[in-house]
Amino acid sequence: MGVARYIKDDKGAIQEVVYQSGIKVKPVYGPEDLDAAGFSYEQDLGEPGDYPFTRSLHPQGYRSRAWTTRQYTGFGTPEQTNERFKFMIANGQNGLNVAFDLPTQMGYDSDHPLAEGEVGRVGMAVDSLKDFLTAFDGIPLDRIGSGLTINAVASIMMAMYQALGETRGFDKTRISCTPQNDILKEMIGRGAWIFPVEHGVRLVGDSIEYAVKELPRSNPVSICGYHIRESGATPAQEIAYAFEIARAYIDTVAQRGITPSDFVGRFSFNFNVYGNLWEQVAKFRAARKIWAQMLKQDYGVTDKKKLFLRGLFGGGGSGLTKEEPENNIMRGAFYALGAALSGAQTTALCSFDEAYTIPTPRSALLSLKTLELLMDEVGLRDTVDPLAGSYFIETLTLEMADKIKEEMAWVKEMGGIVSGISEGVIQKKVSQQAYEFEKGLQSGKYKKVGKTPGKEDEGAEVELHRYNEEWVGTSKDSLAEVKRTRHEKAVADTLRVLEKAAKSKDNVMPPLVDCCKAFATVGEMADVFRQTFGEWQEPVFY
Amino acid sequence: METKNKIRVLVAKPGLDGHDKGAKIVALALRDAGMEVIYSGLHQTLDQIISTAVQESVDVIGLSIMSGAHLPICKKLTAMMKEHGLTGVQLVVGGVIPRQDIQTLEQMGVAAVFPGGTAFDTIVTEINQLFA
């Protein structure tokens, strides 16, 4: 049943429950379980808002402030994306989470042959600053922060966001953006990587270093256990690999002579809420603790706020089914409940039609209202960390912490996350697990309601977002117009400075901002990197 | 079965989309079913796919497409397969494929279509039947 393994007797009574992370669940928990696990309120939990933050980052949790909602949004042209942004904000959303199309994510302009058929399909097409000016038109950049879901060219997009702010009269110190910028997870799952590992990590380092010095309200990296989980990792591995990736970024910036406590407070995370409810809650509570402990013990960070595991806990894409798609509305609500019971600071929810394609306005609104309902109607703001003290939850949280630490130790033993990804060890492990899980779903060992084991979807009738081929033409025309009206010399000059920085150890961010302001295109900037760094040769295995 | 009699399959990911979980798990399922499987890796152009198919003398090219661009990709690839004399090679396609497109794909010369969620057993049986 569900994603956990349930062993039943011949009368259908459950004999054994094993969660994905490998934890056996007992039928009854009592005080003796906490004693056996050596549970200590002070050490394992602490007061809400106090180290190690198992209970909450803030003393009063959602009483002082409800979660921030950031539905993942963007498609077609910048005009359409702008319209949808405004629609979501008008309906109560308080942050943006921008989706880019694949050509933009891969550093190709809309007129590149490889962009054929993909322009505006899974997100908005961005070729130059002109597109950002249109997409964010009328959005108060000092009040609304933006997550930019892009990785290989995140440095370019963060520079573009600064150029956008400054062009619109918002000083760079007042704007807030969170580029995803987690290239190592792209190499485990999702696959939108371009440059070889070391150069990819260098770009992440450049953008963190730059944001620390120049963009005080921006969070230069959002490390995504999310996609690692979607690729087949267990909840414990999701957290463990994300923390080891964070360690790689901390180390690369620290090597530049910057003290970790000066920048780790700017890291944020993106984690998945898909799976067994209790395992999720325990995962997040354990994760807050382990992150704080890791920063304190390994990097000497002491300032309380810099020990916060901040981030978005949401999504849940893997859980959705094409069969009986309306069930996904309920699934989403329960995933969101898990996020709320875990004290998620920011959230977003996959919409019910995302098993098919990107959401319609109606389904995106349903997700947003689900989140609102939990906060404003059901009672999730009443008291902080409401499950604390449950014999089951506290035992499970301790067990999850052990599982996460085991996975982190495994990564260290095999030489660290960078080498594990370069050699494909992590990818292989995760894919093998995805295969085993899929076999289990097909054989009925795991269960999704509405899905018959081994049978393909029946294709229900739902209203779907439609891709429009005309967007390619609109984007290409807009790009041609930019190229016709910009000053070519300024473009060439700024790109030359960028190339020089890329070839040396200079930070690429200042030249990128100048390139963006000169209306150099994303493709032109990415090409400078491609020519300088080359492209990653993925370790292929199956 | 002798190795030389095994069906050789190239599992390929054309285009920019990087969601490769489906491609990888199907590759594992085909291998477990006794086929020789070559996985292309991500971001392949159609030229690269053809050239790997030729070099590896495969019997089947299996495309994994999640981006929605399956119709133009298959149209182009079937034409390229003819050009390169890969007439004995069977093309199969899996991924996010709407039901209404299956017939169109088959008319283009795609031998079998496996929308997301198709059982591994079905995929294996149908590929085996292409060589029965």
Who has greater pLDDT, A503 or A460?
Answer: A503
A324 CB-near residues (< 8 Å, 6+ apart): A449, A450, A460
- Strands B60-65, A145-149: pairing kind: unpaired
Residue A502 has pLDDT above 50, yes or no: yes
The two tokens of residue A38 are 């050596």
Return the axis-axis angle of helices B120-130 and B21-32, rounded to nearest 10°. 60
The reported pLDDT for the residue numbered B99 is 86
What is the distance in angstroms between the Cα of B27 and the nearest Cα belonging to chain A? Answer: 6
Rounded to an integer, what distance in angstroms lies between the CA atom of residue A53 and that of residue A292? 7
Any idea which of A244-253, A270-279, B63-72 has the lowest mean pLDDT? B63-72
Residue A371 has pLDDT above 80, yes or no: yes
Residues of A whose CB is below 8 A from B96: 356-357
A68 CB-near residues (< 8 Å, 6+ apart): A94, A95, A345, A346, A347
Q: What DSSP string describes A295-352?
A: HHHHH----GGGG---EEEEB-GGG--SSSTTHHHHHHHHHHHHHHHTT-SEE-B--G
Please report, rounded to a whole number, the percentage of residues in chain A having pLDDT higher than 70: 98
Do A340 and A374 meet the contact criterion of CB atoms below 8 Å apart? Answer: yes
* Chain A CA closest to residue B14: A114
The reported pLDDT for the residue numbered A60 is 97
The two tokens of residue B1 are 């079965």
**ipTM of this predicted complex?**
0.93
Q: Is B20 helix (H, G, I), strand (E, B) or coil?
A: coil
- Average of per-residue pLDDT across A356-363: 87
Do A151 and A181 meet the contact criterion of CB atoms below 8 Å apart? Answer: yes
B63 CB-near residues (< 8 Å, 6+ apart): B12, B13, B14, B49, B70, B73, B74, B77, B91, B92, B93, B94, B95
C-alpha radius of gyration, chain B, whole number: 13
Q: Give which of B8, B10, B13, B24 to mutate to test A binding, by max A Cβ within 10 Å.
A: B24
Alpha helices in chain B (DSSP H): 21-32, 46-55, 70-83, 102-108, 120-130
What's the average pLDDT block by block, 10 residues per block, for chain B (132 residues)? Answer: 75 94 96 96 95 97 91 95 96 92 96 93 97 90
Residues of B whose CB is below 8 A from A442: 119-121
Rounded to an integer, what distance in angstroms lies between the CA atom of residue A328 and that of residue A350? 9
The reported pLDDT for the residue numbered A30 is 98
pTM listed for this prediction: 0.95
Do A150 and A157 meet the contact criterion of CB atoms below 8 Å apart? Answer: yes
The reported pLDDT for the residue numbered A249 is 98
Residues of A whose CB is below 8 A from B19: 189-191
- Average of per-residue pLDDT across A280-292: 98
State the average pLDDT for chain A: 95
Q: Could you give the maximum distance between any two Cα atoms of chain A, in Å?
A: 79
| pLDDT tens digits, A51-101 | 999 999 999 999 999 999 988 888 889 999 999 999 989 998 888 999 999
- Average of per-residue pLDDT across A112-133: 93
The two tokens of residue B3 are 């190795």
* Dihedral over Cα of A271, A273, A276, A280: its sign: positive
Please report, rounded to a whole number, the percentage of residues in chain A having pLDDT higher than 90: 87
Any idea which of A89-98, A159-168, A241-250, A394-403 has the lowest mean pLDDT? A89-98
Return the axis-axis angle of helices A197-214 and A522-533, rounded to nearest 10°. 130
Rounded to an integer, what distance in angstroms lies between the CA atom of residue A262 and that of residue A259? 5
* Chain A CA closest to residue B71: A117
The two tokens of residue A291 are 């992150």
| pLDDT tens digits, A453-464 | 766 665 666 777
| pLDDT tens digits, A404-415 | 999 999 999 999
Residues of B whose CB is below 8 A from A184: none
A34 CB-near residues (< 8 Å, 6+ apart): A391, A394, A395
Any idea which of A248-257, A267-276, B3-12 has the lowest mean pLDDT? B3-12
* Dihedral over Cα of A168, A172, A178, A184: its sign: positive
The two tokens of residue A211 are 């944001």
Judge whether A324 is closer than 8 Å to chain B, CB to CB.
no
A222 band by pLDDT with thresholds 50, 70 and 90:
very high
Whether a cis peptide bond, with omega within 30° of 0, leads into A52 is yes
